[in-house]
């Protein structure tokens, strides 16, 4: 089976022009230079993606409606639904964290799943409507975190065990199914196929030379829809978004955001993230206090997960992105081997970035569950807002970075 109207593609990572021929159903095409996936020919993509997205939406609605976790706090049973978590944060005057929770765990995944259903079902849409939906999908997909929230719930169970016995209801399993179907829908959905229904991806007028870079042939890749556009076009003709030949000026943004996140990382660790109040006497605990407490209580794996997600990953991310900026701008003679290493580092930074949100979700779950007016209560502390800001800023920093800059100074095949 041939790839519909898509004979050439430009690699989004290394800017190489590649000819795509005969990608069999169930297979994918990868870049010969940097191994980035260029195209996936999913079997029956539209039907399967729409089905999984639809099932996921149903499970999300069920999961939001009822109590999904309960805890027995010295005789008092306290149950919460998914929606109670942001509500509690809001009433604790942490509307910032509450808003992040609603957006990242509920609204953005809900929007993305609805977009997949609309684009992949038999509903008739104009090409302008399809374009708008795909642009929204591209913009918010980095910010969907239901799978991280689910991991956060599992980690919080270990913390909650020290307060009382925990129970889960059928709604909890509905939430697990929502996350499972959500991941399946995302893996199957191929936006490139829908973009090609709007217009083919090649807007260049002259013949392309395979194995040479786009910059050498005066063509650039649209960052939004991945069309190949002549460099003189300010906007992409397919998605009407502005695109640059290289995001060289964005490196300044990356560096500025990294410095900002490094500054905010200090109060995020110095201030407490959680206040535990027992019989009216409050005590605040920082991220490291939580790790040490878990370690001493014998929950070594959970202590390591929280230590890795909250302390190691943000610092590693800041160091890695600084190294990538240095490699992109300052190294004059690059070797392919080093470029590949840097590309792997960039992929790792992109992947692990949002996993630092785990601790925020753990705090949200624990705070909403452990409430017993007379005896004890757990409340968020100011450090949690600083920490969430560090995660968000480092995520924006890695999105601003243009990976094509890593490959610009190595010779391509003649």
The residues that touch Zn ion, with contacts defined as CB under 5 A, are 11, 13-14, 31, 33-34, 36, 222, 224-225, 227, 236, 238-239
> Which lies closer to Zn ion via its Cβ, residue 247 or residue 314?
247
Query: How near is the Cβ of 135 to Zn ion at its closest, in Å?
Result: 9
Q: Are 33 and 10 in contact (CB under 8 A)?
A: no
Query: How near is the Cβ of 7 to Zn ion at its closest, in Å?
Result: 17
> Which lies closer to Zn ion via its Cβ, residue 146 or residue 191?
191
Query: How near is the Cβ of 290 to Zn ion at its closest, in Å?
Result: 41
> Which lies closer to Zn ion via its Cβ, residue 241 or residue 322?
241
Query: How near is the Cβ of 413 to Zn ion at its closest, in Å?
Result: 12
Q: Residue 174 is inside which H or E element, if any?
A: helix 170-188
Q: Residue 278 is inside which H or E element, if any?
A: strand 274-278
> Which lies closer to Zn ion via its Cβ, residue 3 or residue 11?
11
Query: How near is the Cβ of 237 to Zn ion at its closest, in Å?
Result: 8
Query: How near is the Cβ of 13 to Zn ion at its closest, in Å?
Result: 5
What percentage of the chain's residues is helix, strand, coil (to nearest 5)? 55, 15, 30
Query: How near is the Cβ of 209 to Zn ion at its closest, in Å?
Result: 15
> Which lies closer to Zn ion via its Cβ, residue 177 or residue 198?
198
Q: Which DSSP letter does residue 267 get?
A: H
> Which lies closer to Zn ion via its Cβ, residue 194 or residue 391?
194
Strand-pair category, 67-73 with 8-10: unpaired
> Which lies closer to Zn ion via its Cβ, residue 33 or residue 317?
33
Number of other CB atoms surrounding residue 101 within 10 Å: 24
Question: At CA 279, angle to CA 273 and CA 285, rounded to 5?
Answer: 15
Query: How near is the Cβ of 204 to Zn ion at its closest, in Å?
Result: 14
Number of other CB atoms surrounding residue 77 within 10 Å: 12
> Which lies closer to Zn ion via its Cβ, residue 9 or residue 352?
9
Nearest Cα neighbor of 15 from 187, 195, 247 is 247
Distance CA(132)–CA(225), nearest Å, equals 11
Q: Are 46 and 325 in contact (CB under 8 A)?
A: no
Tokens standing for residue 115: 């977009």
Q: Are 48 and 181 in contact (CB under 8 A)?
A: no
Strands (E), 169-250: 219-221, 228-230
Nearest Cα neighbor of 28 from 187, 140, 228 is 187
């Amino acid at each position: 089976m041939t790839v519909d109207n898509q004979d050439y593609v430009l690699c989004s990572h290394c800017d190489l022009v590649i000819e795509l021929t005969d990608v069999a159903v169930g297979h994918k095409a990868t870049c010969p230079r940097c191994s980035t996936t260029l195209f996936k020919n999913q079997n029956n993509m539209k039907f399967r993606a729409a089905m999984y997205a639809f099932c996921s939406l149903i499970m999300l609605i069920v999961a939001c409606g009822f109590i999904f976790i309960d805890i027995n706090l010295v005789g008092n049973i306290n149950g919460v639904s998914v929606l109670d978590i942001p509500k509690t944060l809001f009433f604790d005057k942490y509307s910032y964290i509450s808003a992040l929770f609603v957006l990242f765990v509920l609204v953005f995944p809900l929007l993305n799943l609805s977009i997949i259903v609309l684009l992949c079902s038999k509903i008739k849409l104009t090409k302008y409507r399809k374009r708008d939906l795909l642009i929204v999908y591209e913009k918010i997909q980095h910010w969907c975190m239901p799978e991280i929230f689910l991991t956060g719930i599992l980690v919080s169970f270990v913390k909650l065990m020290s307060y009382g016995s925990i129970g889960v209801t059928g709604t909890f399993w509905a939430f697990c199914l929502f996350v499972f179907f959500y991941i399946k829908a995302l893996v199957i959905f191929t936006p490139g196929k829908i973009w090609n229904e709007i217009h083919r991806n090649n807007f260049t007028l002259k013949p392309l030379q395979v194995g040479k870079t786009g910059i050498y042939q005066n063509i650039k890749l649209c960052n939004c829809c991945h069309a190949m556009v002549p460099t003189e076009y300010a906007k992409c003709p397919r998605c009407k978004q502005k695109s640059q030949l290289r995001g060289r000026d964005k490196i300044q943004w990356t560096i500025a955001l990294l410095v900002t996140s490094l500054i905010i990382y200090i109060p995020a660790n110095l201030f407490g993230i959680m206040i535990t109040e027992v019989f009216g006497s409050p005590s605040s605990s920082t991220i490291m206090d939580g790790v040490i407490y878990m370690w001493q209580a014998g929950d070594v794996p959970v202590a390591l997960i929280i230590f890795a997600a909250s302390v190691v990953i943000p610092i590693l991310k800041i160091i890695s992105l600084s190294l990538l900026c240095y490699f992109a701008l300052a190294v004059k003679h690059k070797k392919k081997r080093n470029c590949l290493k840097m590309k792997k580092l960039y992929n790792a930074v992109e992947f692990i970035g949002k996993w630092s949100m785990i601790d925020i979700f753990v705090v949200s779950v624990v705070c909403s569950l452990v409430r017993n007016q007379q005896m004890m209560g757990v409340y968020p502390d100011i450090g949690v807002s600083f920490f969430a800001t560090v995660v968000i800023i480092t995520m924006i920093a890695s999105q601003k970075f243009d990976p094509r800059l890593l490959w610009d100074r190595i010779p391509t095949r003649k």
